[in-house]
Homo-oligomer: A and B are copies of this chain.
């Protein structure tokens, strides 16, 4: 790789300077010479309650200025092993879900053609469907590792198939993911009915609820994930409402009794070595995040995603 893209050095220019890009990466719309691209997907028409995640990418970029390039947990200097850019945002059509799905799929497809690992910032969870469509178009059916307080496997909302609460049923129906090699982690909260959880299982997903996970160590979670996904290609989808509402008040449908950022870090760091082909982090709603803790948490989770890409580069050369 002739050109290396890496963040501006924050010891030579203060972190509060400059146009806000993720982690102070260069904002270049290239697919060349990069291992990963951070991309905003500011689409929120799929939200069924509080709304405004179209400003999620802006807020996450803002707080990501605090990130530094060495990850002491994984003991890795990220940009020693990889190159990446802030690709900007995909264009979407607010108010029009199916149109936007097509637009997102096309734009993401262009990145995937170049083997770039996409790291996508929503937007509401409805965007994961076009993410998976593009991923499946490139790689075929993948495994899903899904952190969320909701399974998002309802059949429809108000008679409509495409919303942020129906994504993983659609993904299964469309053959984009292999539920039998996928896992949903962190489900909790009141339900519409007793069958809600079963629906995910009927589709074939393995479900680890919050109550179950509270009894597991990070290593046990890793074990459960690996048992499920093996060496399949993996797409990681992280809904920020996996976190407890005090760690992520800025989200559309918060559920109390969730996880801390410390726990989330431990869990995500256990994904090292998986065959990771893409990531998204969704449902950051800045207008309900007065202390900015949600976007700070999101920026840090994405940082772990990038670290995982670097780890794979170092350890596996891919």
A interface list, Cβ under 8 A from B: 10-21, 27, 40, 42, 44-52, 54-55, 58, 61-62, 65-73, 75, 77, 86, 88-97, 99, 154, 157-160, 162-163, 188-194, 196-197, 209, 211, 214, 244-247, 249-250, 253-258, 260-262, 265, 287-293, 296-297, 300, 303
Q: How far is the CB of A267 from chain B (nearest CB, A)?
A: 12
The answer on a CB contact under 8 Å between B94 and A95 is no
Q: Dominant SS at the A interface?
A: loop
Residues A10 and B77 in contact in the complex (CB < 8 Å), given A18-B88, A94-B48, A214-B262: no
The answer on a CB contact under 8 Å between B11 and A72 is no
Closest 7 interchain pairs by CB?
A249-B291, A287-B287, A256-B261, A68-B190, A257-B262, A17-B89, A70-B191
Nearest residue, chain B, Cβ from A190: B68
Among B11, B72, B95, B292, point to the contact of A46 (Cβ < 8 A). Answer: B95
Cβ contacts under 8 Å, A72 to chain B: 188, 190-191, 194, 196-197, 209
For the complex, what is the distance from the CA of A71 to the CA of B190, rounded to whole Å? 5
Cβ contacts under 8 Å, A189 to chain B: 68
The answer on a CB contact under 8 Å between A290 and B287 is no
Nearest residue, chain B, Cβ from A15: B49
The answer on a CB contact under 8 Å between A288 and B291 is yes
For the complex, what is the distance from the CA of A258 to the CA of B71, rounded to whole Å? 16
Residues A254 and B66 in contact in the complex (CB < 8 Å), given A14-B92, A88-B19, A247-B246: yes
The answer on a CB contact under 8 Å between A257 and B247 is no
Among B54, B77, B256, B262, point to the contact of A296 (Cβ < 8 A). Answer: B256
Cβ contacts under 8 Å, A90 to chain B: 17
Q: How far is the CB of A20 from chain B (nearest CB, A)?
A: 6
The answer on a CB contact under 8 Å between A192 and B261 is no
Q: How far is the CB of A249 from chain B (nearest CB, A)?
A: 4
Q: How far is the CB of A252 from chain B (nearest CB, A)?
A: 10
Residues A256 and B300 in contact in the complex (CB < 8 Å), given A13-B91, A45-B95: yes
Q: How far is the CB of A57 from chain B (nearest CB, A)?
A: 8
Q: How far is the CB of A27 from chain B (nearest CB, A)?
A: 5
A95-B163, A287-B288 are known; give 10 further A-B pairs, CB within 8 A: A18-B89, A46-B95, A66-B255, A68-B190, A72-B194, A72-B196, A77-B194, A96-B160, A256-B296, A288-B291
